[in-house]
Amino acid sequence: MDPRVPSLELVEPVCAGERRAIARMLSRAEAAGPEAREALDLLYRRTGRAHVVGITGVPGSGKSTLVSKLVAALLESGRKAGIIAVDPSSPYSGGSILGDRIRMGEISSHPSVFVRSMATHGALGGLARGTLEAVDILDAAGYDMVIIETVGVGQDEVDVVRATHTTVVVSAPGLGDDIQAIKAGILEIADVHAVSKGDKPESDRTVSELKSMLGLGLPATGLRRAVPVIKTCSPRGEGVAELLAAIDAHRQYLVTSGEYEGRRQSIRERRMLKAAEQVLHDEFERHRQGRMADLLAELSGASISPHTAARRLLAHIGMEVTR
């Protein structure tokens, strides 16, 4: 496919599941160029069928290996899977390894699986800038489950719960960060907990501790369902079928309880606000040149405060701040 094909001409091939068209549209979503905007808007209208699952957890917990086994189980059920693996970018070079395709082994080349690695490029919250539009593309392309594997940064990694229908938190025994996870709020965001590396002797203790902490927190959070804790061992394939069953059960719970549409509406609201922030940021970047030098001179002379300078800068792009 010619890389110069307009984005609008990719919409129908994407919806037909053509892999080259999907790959090109994903690249354009990640680049966030204005030429792709109309096509992405059209693709958004074709979404709503995929179950979007977030896989998060601390670095070293074995998320990528577990995702590969989970997708293998999904394929056995006759379903298709899209995977968006978010890798951190270097704060110095801006580069990223993007090695998830290698870590996920054979499933990455399966015709019913599409794996896309995306670099954060400084974005916070565990997701890359184009992640959610990549979800739209894979959803429109007919993938039954779209999995977002987040960076694994820990404390800042709560955006995934605002972007997915089901959030799986992966914990590994012996990492010594149980208390840190509680402080970060990672414990509370899970719809399903998975304890990886279940062949380690400490794994049973980790499962027991998680269940105890969840049991203590259930009345306070007002949850109407107990959050399952699944022990897994990816190399042996143990617990993977149970994990998939727990994810499917959570979706069914959302549907039967009436919470599914509410969660989807929360995702829509969050996306609208994030899009507004990005539009404002882009507009600011386009118009700030030519005004910065004068304001910086006043700041250096302490004749104005940073807050006042910011208000003037926003006024320069036509945005009035009332308070």
193 and 121 part of one domain: yes
Domain that holds residue 110: 47-256
The pLDDT value recorded for residue 69 is 94
Do 30 and 80 fall into the same domain?
no
Q: Does some domain include residue 267?
A: no
pLDDT at 316 over 60: yes
In a domain, 307, yes or no: no
Domain identity same for 21 and 76: no
- Give me the CATH number covering residue 198: 3.40.50.300
291 found inside a domain:
no
In a domain, 265, yes or no: no
Do 162 and 30 reside in the same domain of the chain? no
Least confident of 1-15, 120-134, 239-253: 120-134
pLDDT at 15 over 70: yes
pLDDT by residue (tens digit) across 105-144?
Answer: 678 889 999 999 887 654 544 455 688 999 999 999 999 9
Residues 211 and 107 in one domain: yes
Of 206-210, 218-222, 296-300, where does mean pLDDT reach its minimum? 218-222
Residue 232 sits in the same domain as residue 131: yes
In which band, very low, low, confident or very high, does the pLDDT at 311 lie, cut at 50, 70 and 90?
confident
Residues 10 and 40 sit within 8 Å (Cβ to Cβ): no
Give bridge partners of residue 169 from the DSSP assignment: 56, 193
Judgement on whether residues 166 and 37 belong to the same structural domain of the protein? no
Q: Rounded distance, CA 89 to CA 218, Å?
A: 36
Asked if 168 and 53 count as a contact pair (C-beta separation under 8 A), the reply is yes
pLDDT, position 177 = 53
For the chain, the domain total comes to 2
Give the predicted TM-score (pTM) of the model.
0.84
Whether 280 is covered by a domain: the verdict is: no
Residues 267-280: tens digit of each pLDDT:
999 889 888 888 88
26 lies in some domain = yes
Among residues 204, 226, 256, the one where a domain terminates is: 256
Res. 95: pLDDT tops 60 = no
262 located within any domain: no
Together in a domain, 28 and 138: no
Give the number of other Cβ atoms within 10 Å of residue 231's Cβ.
21
Residue 195 lies in a domain: yes
The secondary structure of the chain, three-state, reads CCCCCCHHHHHHHHHCCCHHHHHHHHHHHHHCCHHHHHHHHHHHCCCCCCEEEEEEECCCCCHHHHHHHHHHHHHHCCCCEEEEEEECCCCCCCCCCCCHHHHCHHHHHCCCEEEEEEECCCCCCCCCCCHHHHHHHHHHCCCCEEEEECCCCCCCCCHHHHCCCEEEEEECCCCCCHHHHHHHCHHHHCCEEEECCCCCCCHHHHHHHHHHHHHHHHHHHCCCCCCCEEECEHHHCECHHHHHHHHHHHHHHHHHHCHHHHHHHHHHHHHHHHHHHHHHHHHHHHHCCCCHHHHHHHHHCCCCCHHHHHHHHHHHCCCCCCC
Question: What would the two tokens of residue 112 be?
Answer: 């019913």
